[in-house]
């Protein structure tokens, strides 16, 4: 199937992902543009350039790995804990294409490697990657792997191979300029059951010769075209397109439930503070203020439950 130049859903100029298959359905592919959502993360968290590159890559990876979420309410979260200056990151992808993230150190300094490029590996250091898939069945799937001190894409591919037993290629990239995020995006290529050694070798060879993802984004290629360029397969089948955005689902009612879970004793303690209590969402930095009277009512409700 040729690149669907005339299909509006596959030529969306905004952030979106495209899902496709190739090689007789033995390869699953996902490509995405994530420029605007990475820019929003930079704005929300006031990120330094290096922090923006790292969180932007992680958010892009979440969009790619979360592309198989199908039902409303399905959710995937990824937690990276590390001993480098970054400190760690948490991102969440929803089935509707929204993502959100948090970062321990939003102001990682401008570290450089021997090639005078941003030293993302040193910023991360050693640590773990945990992925939690919640499909609303009451028993979320959790997988954890040790970091291999690679790039974000390599760490995600390592997780997929070790924890989910899916051989994958993951490429994510973010470029910046003085105005903020210039380009961000990524691709995910996975071998499906039934793929033979020849098909696996073909995907491996294509991955080795594929330039950094941001090169193609700078050239104006769409996510659908990124996948076609990777596979070089005239029989690629484009299945679905989904818009992406940085969006938090916090609300006052959600924060109220969080407070309620503290229990009556702690709520009465908070109610004793003249200023009341203020909760701040880690994902969007919205502030929610609760007066002593509101806290007293919550404590009474918790006491009588």
pLDDT by residue (tens digit) across 52-70?
A: 999 999 999 999 999 999 8
pLDDT value for 8:
62
CATH architecture of 252-303: Alpha-Beta Complex (3.90)
**Where are the chain's structural domains?**
14-246, 252-303
Q: Which of 6-15, 113-122, 130-139, 186-195 has the lowest mean pLDDT?
A: 6-15
196 phi, psi to nearest 5 deg: -100, 180
pLDDT value for 118:
79
pLDDT value for 229:
92
Q: Which of 113-122, 252-261, 272-281 has the lowest mean pLDDT?
A: 113-122
The pLDDT confidence band at residue 137, using thresholds 50, 70 and 90, is confident
**Is 85 within 8 Å of 65 (Cβ atoms)?**
no
253-260 average pLDDT score:
94
pLDDT value for 305:
59
Please say if the pLDDT value at position 189 is more than 70: yes
Q: What is the pTM of this model?
A: 0.92
**Is 74 within 8 Å of 92 (Cβ atoms)?**
no
Please say if the pLDDT value at position 199 is more than 80: yes
Please say if the pLDDT value at position 7 is more than 60: no
**Angle (nearest 5°) at CA 84 between 83 and 90:** 75
240: left (phi over 0), alpha (psi -120 to 50) or beta: beta
The pLDDT confidence band at residue 262, using thresholds 50, 70 and 90, is very high
**Angle (nearest 5°) at CA 191 between 231 and 244:** 70
Distance CA 38, CA 41 (A): 5
Distance CA 244, CA 64 (A): 10
Q: Which of 157-166, 180-189, 208-217, 219-228 has the lowest mean pLDDT?
A: 208-217
Structure tokens at 280: 């701040």
How far, rounded to the nearest angstrom, does the alpha carbon of residue 281 sit from its chain's CA centroid?
A: 18
CA dihedral 99, 44, 13, 160 (to 10 degrees): -30
Distance CA 24, CA 35 (A): 31
The pLDDT confidence band at residue 10, using thresholds 50, 70 and 90, is low
pLDDT value for 5:
45
pLDDT value for 142:
95
Residues whose CB falls within 8 Å of the CB of residue 212, separated by 6 or more in sequence, listed in order: 171, 173
23-38 average pLDDT score:
96
The pLDDT confidence band at residue 182, using thresholds 50, 70 and 90, is very high
- Read off the pLDDT of residues 77-119 as tens digits, 9 standing for 90 and up: 999 999 999 999 999 999 999 999 999 999 999 887 777 677 8
CATH class label, 14-246: alpha beta
Residues whose CB falls within 8 Å of the CB of residue 3, separated by 6 or more in sequence, listed in order: 10, 224, 225, 228
């Amino acid at each position: 199937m040729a690149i669907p130049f005339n299909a509006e859903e596959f030529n969306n100029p905004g952030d979106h992902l495209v899902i496709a298959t190739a090689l007789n359905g033995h390869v699953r592919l996902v490509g995405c543009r994530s420029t605007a959502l990475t820019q929003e993360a930079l704005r929300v968290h006031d990120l330094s350039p290096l922090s923006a590159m790292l969180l932007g890559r992680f958010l892009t990876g979440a969009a790619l790995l979360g592309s198989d979420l199908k039902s409303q309410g399905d959710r995937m979260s990824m937690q990276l804990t590390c001993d480098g200056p970054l400190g760690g990151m948490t991102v969440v992808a929803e089935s509707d294409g929204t993502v959100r993230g948090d970062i321990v150190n939003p102001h990682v300094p401008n570290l450089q490697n021997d090639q005078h490029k941003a030293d993302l590996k040193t910023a991360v250091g050693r640590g773990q990657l945990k992925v939690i898939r919640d499909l609303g069945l009451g028993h979320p799937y959790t997988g954890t792997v040790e970091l291999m001190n690679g790039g974000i894409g390599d760490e995600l591919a390592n997780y997929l191979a070790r924890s989910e037993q899916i051989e994958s290629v993951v490429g994510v990239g973010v470029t910046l300029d003085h105005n903020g995020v210039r380009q961000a995006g990524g691709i995910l290529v996975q071998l499906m059951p039934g793929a033979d050694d020849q098909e696996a070798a073909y995907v491996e060879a294509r991955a080795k010769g594929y330039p950094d993802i941001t090169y193609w984004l700078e050239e104006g290629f769409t996510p659908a075209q990124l996948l076609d360029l990777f596979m070089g397969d005239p029989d690629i089948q484009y299945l679905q397109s989904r818009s992406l955005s940085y969006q938090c689902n916090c609300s006052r009612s959600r924060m109220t439930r969080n407070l309620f879970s503290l229990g009556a004793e702690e709520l009465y303690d908070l109610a004793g503070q003249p200023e009341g209590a203020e909760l701040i969402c880690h994902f969007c930095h919205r502030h929610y203020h609760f007066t002593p009277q509101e806290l007293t009512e919550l404590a009474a409700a918790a006491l009588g439950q």
